[in-house]
Amino acid sequence: MTLHRPSSASDQPAAFTHDQALIGDYAHPLDGKAGSWQVSRSERPHLYRIQHRLADRPTKVDTVVDLENLQAKLAKWQREGFVKRHDGRDPSTFAHPTFMQDLREAGTRSAQLADVADRERVRIGNVSLPQGAGGPLVPAVNPAYLFASRSDNVLRDVDENRRVMLIGHTGTGKTSLIEQAAALCRQGVLRANMNGQTSVGDFVGFWTVKGGETVWVDGVLPIAMRQGLWLIVDEIDFAEPAILSVLTAVLEPGGQLLLKEKGNEIIAPHPAFRLFGTANAVGAMSRFRHLYQGANLMNEAFLDRWRVYMIDYLSPEDEATVLRQTFGPSVSEAMAHTLAAIAADCRAAFLREDLASAFSTRRLLDWTAMMLRTGDPETAAGPTIYAKVDAEDAALISSIVRHHIAVDNDQDA
Ligand SMILES: Nc1ncnc2c1ncn2[C@@H]1O[C@H](COP(=O)(O)OP(=O)(O)OP(=O)(O)O)[C@@H](O)[C@H]1O
Ligand SMILES: [Mg+2]
């Protein structure tokens, strides 16, 4: 519980200088048995009446004091945790009167500081990130990529060198958010997929024989740490425990990697090194674990070392914008909105568990591309949707499509 104290929380009676402000009821927010002190103006000028009240008992203390004495009393009550009751409300329910204002001012101050430091940085939406070193590992820019407002806090965390984990259904844009941010600030990226494709050796490194000599080969983690790359650990909820325990060491900013296999070599992270995790069924997404078979639960201590963001599908408006930006004038505004609405309906059916398969932005883009080639939404849905789901799902998705797109009878005539 947060205790609300008068603005000067020290033992000094400095907060009580304006005598009119002293009149009122003083109670203890946590100790109901402590009763309340009532201060009122006395009939005699410059004097105050103090009464101590306990519930259901007669008043025990009833005395008249001068301002100096009253201030000493107030300082004592303040030390004991008494606070002034407003409008007769229970002090344990006092809301901090200027908290939101203080918070907004703090935000404005840090935005001003960020503006000053903005030179040599790349602006992405409302956030700016340092320019990376470039190189062959910088992902290609997707000009159609939309940094919705959901990216702002993620990117701020990247700037502050925090470990960021993005969780959400398949194809919501977790991996691409990080890759596209890297692309814009010309930052090299390495990806490691934990779903059965990455061994501890791949991740940390291994000894091998080359030209008759035994040499050490760095895994993706030490490479990223030494070279200042961003490392995306995809599907982190499938990682084997040995990988998670290595990761834990570098989760703190500045966390060093101890390469036990290489004679305990210590690797300090390059300042540009960043670590990301993505997962479908971690934390708040655990309730969907049955849809992502084989995903492991992650313990709280591990998760506590990350900032974990839920990345949901783009809103239909944003997804329509992405369609228009991806396909240009080939997709009219009305078409884009219809296609985004179909995707939204399929996702709603998925959340109701009427559909077993998710409808990713990736799927929507692929279906649209095929539709532009074939000229027919149903034909296009064959290889891009229907062949990937079971017959029941295909029938339901097809009915959603037909609900939104009027069948063109002229073609059949
Ligand atoms: N905000 C966006 N703007 C433009 N395209 C997007 C956006 N979000 C997602 N996409 C498209 O969707 C595709 C899938 O996104 P991505 O691979 O990032 O999903 P994911 O959440 O990592 O999926 P998975 O859980 O299956 O790994 C991207 O390649 C991109 O084409
Ligand atoms: Mg991904």
Confidence category of residue 13, pLDDT binned at 50, 70, 90: very low
Put simply, whether the predicted model's pTM sits higher than 0.85 gets the answer no
185 touches 196 (CB < 8 A): no
Q: Whose CA is nearest to atom 4 of ligand 1?
A: 145
Mean pLDDT of 275-292: 87
Does residue 175 have its Cβ closer than 6 Å to ligand 1? yes
CA of 87 to the centre of ligand 1 (A): 53
Q: Measured from the CA of 361, which atom of ligand 1 is nearest?
A: 12
Does residue 139 have its Cβ closer than 6 Å to ligand 1? no
pLDDT in tens, 288-344: 888 777 777 788 889 999 999 999 999 999 999 999 999 999 999 999 999 999 999
Residue ranges of domains in the chain:
13-92, 122-310, 316-412
Q: Whose CA is nearest to atom 9 of ligand 1?
A: 173
Mean pLDDT of 41-58: 83
Q: Measured from the CA of 148, which atom of ligand 1 is nearest?
A: 1
Does residue 322 have its Cβ closer than 6 Å to ligand 1? yes
Which of 372, 309, 319, 368 lies closest to 341, judged by CA?
Answer: 319
Does residue 361 have its Cβ closer than 6 Å to ligand 1? yes
Does residue 362 have its Cβ closer than 6 Å to ligand 1? yes
Does residue 314 have its Cβ closer than 6 Å to ligand 1? yes
Residues 6+ positions from 94 with CB-CB distance below 8 Å? 4, 29, 83, 86
Per DSSP, the three-state class of 332 is coil
Q: How far apart are the first and last CA of the chain?
A: 73
Measured N-to-C along each axis, helices 391-404 and 333-351 cross at an angle, to the nearest 10 degrees, of 140
How many CB atoms are located within 10 Å of the residue 37 CB? 23
The H or E element that residue 380 is part of is helix 377-384
CA of 290 to the centre of ligand 1 (A): 22
Residues 6+ positions from 328 with CB-CB distance below 8 Å? none
Provide the phi-psi class of 117: left if phi over 0, else alpha when psi is between -120 and 50, else beta: alpha
- CATH fold of the domain at 122-310: Rossmann fold (3.40.50)
pLDDT in tens, 243-277: 998 999 899 878 999 999 999 999 999 999 999 99
Average pLDDT, the chain: 86
Task: Give the Cα separation of 204 and 290 in Å (integer).
Answer: 30
Look at residue 183 and tell me whether its pLDDT is greater than 70.
yes
Higher pLDDT, 297 or 367: 367
Confidence category of residue 25, pLDDT binned at 50, 70, 90: confident
CA of 269 to the centre of ligand 1 (A): 28
What pLDDT was estimated at residue 12?
40
Look at residue 73 and tell me whether its pLDDT is greater than 80.
yes
Q: Whose CA is nearest to atom 10 of ligand 1?
A: 173
What pLDDT was estimated at residue 117?
58
Which of 11, 158, 164, 146 lies closest to 75, judged by CA?
Answer: 11
Mean pLDDT of 379-403: 96
Does residue 153 have its Cβ closer than 6 Å to ligand 1? no
Q: Measured from the CA of 179, which atom of ligand 1 is nearest?
A: 18
Which of 178, 188, 184, 171 lies closest to 155, judged by CA?
Answer: 178
CA of 174 to the centre of ligand 2 (A): 6
Per DSSP, the three-state class of 404 is helix
pLDDT in tens, 199-250: 899 999 999 999 999 999 999 999 999 999 999 999 999 998 889 989 998 9
Residues 6+ positions from 292 with CB-CB distance below 8 Å? 237, 280, 281
What pLDDT was estimated at residue 152?
94
Q: Whose CA is nearest to atom 25 of ligand 1?
A: 170
